[in-house]
Structure 1
Amino acid sequence: MASTSMHPKDGSHIAEKMRRHLRPSESIIGSILFFCAIVSIFTTIGIVITLGAESFRLFSKEQCVEVTYLSTGKRCEEVTLNEFLTTTEWVPQSLKFGALPLIASTLTTSFIAMTIAIPLGIGAAIYLSEYASPRTRRVLKPILEVLAGIPTVVYGFFALTFVTPVLRDVFTVTAMPTLFNMLSAGLVMGIMILPLMASMSEDALNAVPRSLREGSFGLGANKLETTVSVVLPAALSGVIAAMIISVSRAVGETMIVAIAAGAGPRYTIVPFDAAETITGHIARISSGDISFNSVDYNSVFALGLMLFIVTLFLNIIGRQLATIFREEYD
């Protein structure tokens, strides 16, 4: 029997012909989608320009504060990037712009959150994807979605009024946490991020072809061996992407740390101590009456730009790791 095959050029010719004969409605839909993409791009560019321009004021000219013991009534100093990133005192009204206390507390709460979200999220994803029956999955998935929909301010008060008292009872003898502490904020942040981590990891596991599981079973492996040695490595790119996005979510969280972690920059990484994160500081300062081009105004934008750069860097790393570990199947 004779077989026929289509030349690649024929396929491209057909695709070009189909594009030429698009219906008007399809052209309109394509234009709308293109407009949405352009809006998102220009929104990101606008955010970068705004943060960069306002942050540049902090480093490009002297910052001045009102003082009473000088005849001029003002004290002015220049702020350097080295001072901003390496010193440990953050008191803008005294012209001290060391962001390390805010950075340290942000990293501490994010680390605590990820120690909760990553293992529990991957475990929940494996259970839902590989072990749970359809009926169990139908019950558990909505519960995870409900957790994802709870306002973060509710999580914040949950950390302050429930988790912190429990921690104070547990660590009464060794190291009793203060009323405001990074440990309770980090633990609740991990609970908040858990649905995101579990959902994205489950999608990655479900994307692994069924043939890989069947081949592993055919070689005599049980379900646990198949999950750990075959399915999880094959879904590694998606799991890594979920981890990076979860870290970005933890770094940018505001209300939980603003309510439960404490106010006032403090250079410490002890989870039992109270300390203010970058987002918590921005929320506290921005809630007051800040005058344009003041010291507080310029410093808040500089912190916001630093947060943006950190999350952008994390997303770039996530994309690179996902590309490296991506598996392709026919």
Structure 2
Amino acid sequence: MGLTARSVVEISTARLQRGMAARWREWGELAVQALLFFAAMVSVFTTIGIVAVLLVEALPFFQQVSLKEFLLDPQWTPLFAQKHFGIMPLVAGTFLTSAVAVALAMPVGLLSAIYLSEYASPRVRAVLKPALEILAGIPTVVYGYFALLTVTPLLKRIIPDLETFNALSAGLTMGVMIIPLISSLSEDALYAVPSSLREAAYALGATRLEVAVRVVIPAALSGIVASFILAASRAVGETMIVAIAAGQRPTLTLDPRRAIETMTAYIVQVSLGDTPHGTLEFRTIFAVGLVLFLITLVLNLIAIRIIERYREVYR
């Protein structure tokens, strides 16, 4: 009878311990779930807060400046005596420098990704890829002074009428900065293509170049295009390089030899503290910031759409 009672106690104790362990695991899962939900909500509410600030501060600006004038006026001189509030010069300057950057970074980044994925040995790939990604860790202010003090003098030897502050040197330097973004994302997309596709192409007599161009790149096209769009978004939002090397002249031009001003550079200019807070001139930075936010949002939505629409899943 005593042995039976002891067994009952042991069984009850074991069941109690298992129950407590199950409860602790359940509580732990709930705690982790709550932590992850909180982290996700921080990002969501931060974005909502940024949008709310832009809208609240930009609304008084658009109450005094019509949307037609803001979008169609070819002059941007809110800090001058003769005020004009046409954002087109800033948009043109932003897209000019971004176009130069993407024109450099797209071929260089894609070619480097093809080499790392299809030609480089594992040892070479393990060395070159981190070395290439070091470019992404260099502060952008260093890139800005590099563009102004090194790239511009070199370009002046080729283009004598190049202005000291110009869109070309800023765009080229910005292109060097975003090469790692295109290279890394494209290389990951190329490397993820199954080896069976390559082996099948080799079995049909294709060369390594034909396999890379006709098999691997089409299979990874969604990831490659997404890397291009994300890099373009990064170029559009760049601040310090264009603020230092491109100048602060809001001119509506597509000539990369001339000084221009981008949306981010203008925001930096007004944010230095010389413009009184709460004035119409100060609120222009929120209107410009809202346009910049919408542009980058559209580019990122396009990238997401391309990934979802054209992604091919290989098993």
TM over 0.5: yes
The AA in structure 1 aligned to 2:66 is T
Give the CA deviation at 1:20: 9.8
The answer to whether the aligner puts 1:168 opposite 2:159 as a matched pair is: no
Residues 51, 229 of structure 1: alpha-carbon distance in 2 compared, 3 angstrom cutoff: same
Partner of 1:43: 46
Give the CA deviation at 1:91: 1.2
The answer to whether the aligner puts 1:29 opposite 2:29 as a matched pair is: no
Q: Is the 8 A contact 1:254 1:280 kept in 2?
A: yes
C-alpha distance in structure 2 between counterparts of 1:154 and 1:139, whole Å: 24
RMSD (CA atoms)? 1.5
C-alpha distance in structure 2 between counterparts of 1:284 and 1:51, whole Å: 18
| Deviant stretches of 4+, over 6 Å | none
Residues 327, 21 of structure 1: alpha-carbon distance in 2 compared, 3 angstrom cutoff: farther
TM-score by length of 1: 0.85
TM-score by length of 2: 0.89
**1:233-283 superposed Cα distances (whole Å, 9 cap, x missing partner):** 111111111111100000000000000001121111100000111111111
Of 103, 108, 115, which aligns to 1:120?
Answer: 108
Give the CA deviation at 1:46: 0.8
Partner of 1:242: 227
Partner of 2:74: 88
C-alpha distance in structure 1 between counterparts of 2:25 and 2:48, whole Å: 32
Which of the two has higher C-alpha Rg? Answer: 2
Of 127, 130, 153, which aligns to 2:118?
Answer: 130
C-alpha distance in structure 2 between counterparts of 1:95 and 1:275, whole Å: 18
Q: Write the mapping of 1:1-330 to structure 2, written as runs, cut at 5 A.
A: 22-60=25-63, 62=64, 79-93=65-79, 94-172=82-160, 176-330=161-315
Give the CA deviation at 1:230: 0.8
C-alpha distance in structure 2 between counterparts of 1:129 and 1:315, whole Å: 25
For structure 1, the 5+ residue unaligned runs are 1-18, 63-78
Question: Larger helix proportion, structure 1 or 2?
Answer: 2
**1:98-147 superposed Cα distances (whole Å, 9 cap, x missing partner):** 11111111110000000001110100111001100112112211211211
The AA in structure 1 aligned to 2:75 is E
C-alpha distance in structure 2 between counterparts of 1:102 and 1:288, whole Å: 20
Give the CA deviation at 1:159: 0.4
Q: Is the 8 A contact 1:102 1:277 kept in 2?
A: yes
Residues 20, 318 of structure 1: alpha-carbon distance in 2 compared, 3 angstrom cutoff: farther
**1:132-167 superposed Cα distances (whole Å, 9 cap, x missing partner):** 011211221121121110000000000001100011
Q: Is the 8 A contact 1:84 1:99 kept in 2?
A: yes
For structure 2, the 5+ residue unaligned runs are 1-21
**1:148-196 superposed Cα distances (whole Å, 9 cap, x missing partner):** 1000000000000110001100123xxx201110000000000000011
Partner of 2:8: none
Give the CA deviation at 1:21: 9.4
The AA in structure 2 aligned to 1:266 is T
C-alpha distance in structure 2 between counterparts of 1:49 and 1:177, whole Å: 41
Question: How many residue pairs end up in the alignment?
Answer: 292
C-alpha distance in structure 2 between counterparts of 1:23 and 1:140, whole Å: 45
3-state SS, counterpart of residue 179 of structure 2: helix
3-state SS, counterpart of residue 243 of structure 1: helix
**1:35-92 superposed Cα distances (whole Å, 9 cap, x missing partner):** 11111011111111110111111012x3xxxxxxxxxxxxxxxx11111111111111
Partner of 2:11: none
The AA in structure 2 aligned to 1:177 is L
C-alpha distance in structure 2 between counterparts of 1:59 and 1:263, whole Å: 24
Q: Is the 8 A contact 1:264 1:281 kept in 2?
A: no
The AA in structure 2 aligned to 1:136 is V
